[in-house]
Chains A and B, each alone.
Chain A
Amino acid sequence: MHIRQIIAAPATRRIVASAGIVGLALTASACNRASSSDSGGGGGGEAAVGVTLITKDSTNPFFVAMQKGAKADAGKNNVKLTIASGKQEGDDQGQITAIEDAIARGDKGILITPMSTGVNAAIKKARDAGLYVIALDTPPDPADTVDITFATDNRAAGKLDGQWAAKTMAGKPAVIAMLDLFDDKIVSVDYNRDQGFLEGMGIDVADPKKNGDEAKTGTYSGGDYTIVCNEAGNGAEDGGRSAMEKCLAKNPGINLVYTINEPTAVGANAALEAAGKKATIVSVDGGCAGVASVKSGVIGATAQQYPLKMATLGMEAIAKIARGGEKPKPTEGLDFFDTGVALVTDKPVDGVESIDSTKGADLCWGN
């Protein structure tokens, strides 16, 4: 075997091994320091409760916001928080590894935005080991894979938009464009927001899990309505713009636009401006860019959701359980724990609770 060493390698550069050894020592001591400061950082008397937050990735603004919020709040509940995620969308293995690490570490609970059904087995392993597992943002499939899900009530979010819009239209005929998320697949967030909006307007939605099956004309709580279109914008600016253009082609008299999220709303506004039209736009999400659009008047009202709160309320719940407290229960009438939603608008109406864009900017997520 050693014959191969006879044919010597090309001249090697000078690298002193001691540099490597020093590096190693530094790495090792850095680890030690990390541990002592971490474990020593807990509050007086009570042991810190270990919680792991596992997101799908560490770059999506929604997850970044979640991680930031959780980190900032970990101290409050004397939680020793570990942050982990998949390397990218679809990286089941990354989440499985993180779950196993949490079990081995003796954490009391896991907060997870489950990647796919591929992590179900690992979640079960964690629950068998006595960890309390909370899904954030989206329930896993099946929902009882986890102990409970903390998420936004998207139907309630849509409803707030609808109620505000109905009051804002104040009896005028409403000519409505519905800019949905998809038209090639059915996802709950899509129909919950869409149907919630129409319910808020006081329009009969027929099948509450189906977009676009309601009567095209009729009466809403304030007067007559016409639904011009249900177009998919895929949740992005360009999609929102072309969807709105299609709707305007059908009926240039549109004066009320529902959008699935704020990028779609921005695109819809661009189409309206280009056509020289004005309409009231409502949306959902409450990201910081979206709130800024409310302030500038592009969006009339947006329903704000709280990814940070999902993480911090989840941590709080696990800390409570670990100290002998009660487990969280699903919000009444829902199969998940509602992390709340608030309507952000600078034109408040009677009977619909809302916050202004300044307050909304304090609470918003992302950049």
Chain B
Amino acid sequence: MSASSAPSAAAEFSRRRQTPLQQVQHQLHGRPWLSPLFLLLVAFLAFFISTPTFLTPSSMGILLQQTAVVAALGVGQTLIILTAGIDLSVGAVMVLSMMVMASLAQDGGMPGVLALVIGVIFATVAGLLNGLLVTRINLPPFIVTLGTLSIFTAIALLYSGGASIQASHLPRLLNVLGEGFGIGEFRLTWGIVVVVIIYAVMAFVLSQTAWGRYVYAVGDDAESARLSGVPSRRILLGVYTVAGLIYGIAAWILIGRAGAATPNAIPDANLASITAVVIGGTSLFGGRGRLIGTLIGALIVQTFAFGLSQLGVDQQWRVLATGVLVIIAVAIDQWIRKVKA
């Protein structure tokens, strides 16, 4: 019923098929990441014109370094939002994993590899737990992850005793993703490389494998997916587990970047990752969106933050700008969805 009511509601606007605006709308419908990309380019242009320090090689390197962690988290968040879920425990899982890695290596005297692997396993299990609660007890993902947000945060605090651990006391392997390379002033970190790999792998999985197609199908309509033979529960469980794994890798990136493992690192990680996904054109109602959009979304947020900061604007304005961006992004998304199939 909704499919037929949408066009009629818009009938007065869309009687003539091919106005330029409709062509744009059509294009965007096929490629929901085009509008965020446009937004990103506009932002670049605006900041390039308004501040001399923005578009320099060193600034671009810093911008990418600052985006890395949230971009990584955004991959897991995208997977979950594609299934019409949401993950509020992103930051908590990452921090838990980070504290496990750091204290195993420092206090437990464990070799870096082992600490790293156990830390990532912790995150993966945390994701699995989210998935189990969603699929077995049929709780809404919002509620599940709201609960586990507190649970994982508390465990991280209990485990670490609230103390932070200096990254310089940790084995090199845990720090290595913060180390840099580059040409001249343009410095990148290995963490950025890892983020790019995560995106490449997951984008391939989502677009080229049956599993990826099922993820979209489950997000579109879990019930009809189930009826047409998609193992919905297993797919959902997989999505939450993979997301956890990715948060564990994000924890590794964060240690290298932060210079310390702190139990309250990146307090806004949850919202930042959701923001990146939403600005990137992935629908909160599930089933529609692309990973590339999330990457662009994360870059947009950081570009505005960095650009405004380069202008010497106080940081409250960047928070405000992020809010405006989210609303613009969703507004465009809603408009695109009105296109005729």
Contact = CB atoms under 8 A, between A and B. Distances in A.
Asked whether A and B interact, the reply is yes
Interface of A: 1-2, 4-17, 19-20, 23-24, 27-28, 31-32, 34-36, 38, 50, 58, 80-85, 87-93, 96-98, 100-101, 103-106, 116-122
A12 B327 CA distance: 15
B328 A20 contact: yes
Interface string B255-273: 0011110111111100000
A91 B53 contact: no
Contacts of A1: 207, 213, 216
Nearest to A83: B314
**Residue from B42, B314, B341 having most chain A Cβ neighbours under 10 A:** B314
A8 B66 contact: no
A91 B42 contact: no
11 contacts: A4-B217, A8-B2, A8-B341, A9-B2, A11-B6, A11-B9, A23-B324, A35-B50, A84-B309, A92-B260, A117-B260
Interface string B312-341: 111111000100110111011011111001
Contacts of B217: 4
Contacts of B210: none
Interface in B1-50: 2-3, 5-6, 9-10, 21, 25, 29-30, 39, 42-43, 46-47, 49-50
Contacts of B293: none
A9 B259 contact: no
Given A12-B334, A13-B334, 20 more contacts: A7-B220, A12-B338, A19-B331, A20-B329, A27-B324, A28-B46, A31-B307, A32-B49, A82-B313, A83-B314, A85-B315, A90-B263, A93-B266, A100-B65, A100-B66, A104-B306, A116-B260, A116-B262, A119-B259, A122-B259
B335 A88 contact: no
A2 B289 CA distance: 10
A11 B5 contact: yes
Contacts of A80: 312
Interface stretch (B106-114, B141-149, B280-288): B280-288
Contacts of B138: none
A288 B59 CA distance: 42
Contacts of A81: 312
Contacts of B338: 12, 14
B308 interface: yes
A31 B267 contact: no
A70 to B, nearest CB: 11
B311 A38 contact: yes
Contacts of A104: 53, 56, 58-59, 62, 306, 310
Given A23-B324, A87-B268, A8 B308 contact: no
Contacts of B337: 9, 12
Given A7-B287, A38-B311, A116-B164, A101 B267 contact: no
Place the interface of chain B in its size category: 35 or more
Instruction: Decide if the interface of chain B is mainly helix, strand, loop or mixed.
Output: helix
Instruction: Decide if the interface of chain A is mainly helix, strand, loop or mixed.
Output: helix
Interface of B: 2-3, 5-6, 9-10, 21, 25, 29-30, 39, 42-43, 46-47, 49-51, 53, 56, 58-59, 62, 65-66, 69, 164, 166-168, 207, 213, 216-217, 219-221, 224, 254, 257-260, 262-268, 283, 285, 287-288, 305-317, 321, 324-325, 327-329, 331-332, 334-338, 341
B306 A15 contact: no
A19 to B, nearest CB: 6
Contact of A14 (B9, B56, B306, B324): B9
Nearest to A1: B207
Contact of A7 (B43, B46, B224, B267): B224
A13 B331 CA distance: 9
A328 B327 CA distance: 48
Contact of A96 (B2, B59, B258, B287): B258
A59 to B, nearest CB: 12
Contacts of A93: 69, 254, 257-258, 265-266
B53 to A, nearest CB: 5
B47 A31 contact: yes
B164 A5 contact: no
B53 A106 contact: yes
B216 A4 contact: yes
A114 to B, nearest CB: 12
B73 to A, nearest CB: 13
Contacts of B49: 32
A90 B91 CA distance: 14
A90 B268 CA distance: 12
Nearest to A100: B62
Contacts of A106: 53
A66 to B, nearest CB: 14
A55 to B, nearest CB: 11
Contacts of A100: 62, 65-66
A9 B310 contact: no
A11 to B, nearest CB: 5
A84 B164 contact: no
Nearest to B8: A11
B118 to A, nearest CB: 22
Contacts of A31: 46-47, 50, 307-308, 311, 313
A101 B310 contact: yes
B58 A90 contact: no
A118 B259 contact: yes
B42 A24 contact: yes
Contacts of A2: 30
A85 B224 CA distance: 49
Contacts of B42: 24, 28
**Residue from B220, B224, B315, B321 having most chain A Cβ neighbours under 10 A:** B315
Nearest to A19: B331
A118 B175 CA distance: 13
Nearest to A84: B315
Given A1-B216, A117-B166, A6 B46 contact: no
Contacts of A9: 2, 6, 283, 285, 288, 337
B10 A14 contact: yes
Contact of B267 (A4, A32, A88): A88
B21 to A, nearest CB: 8
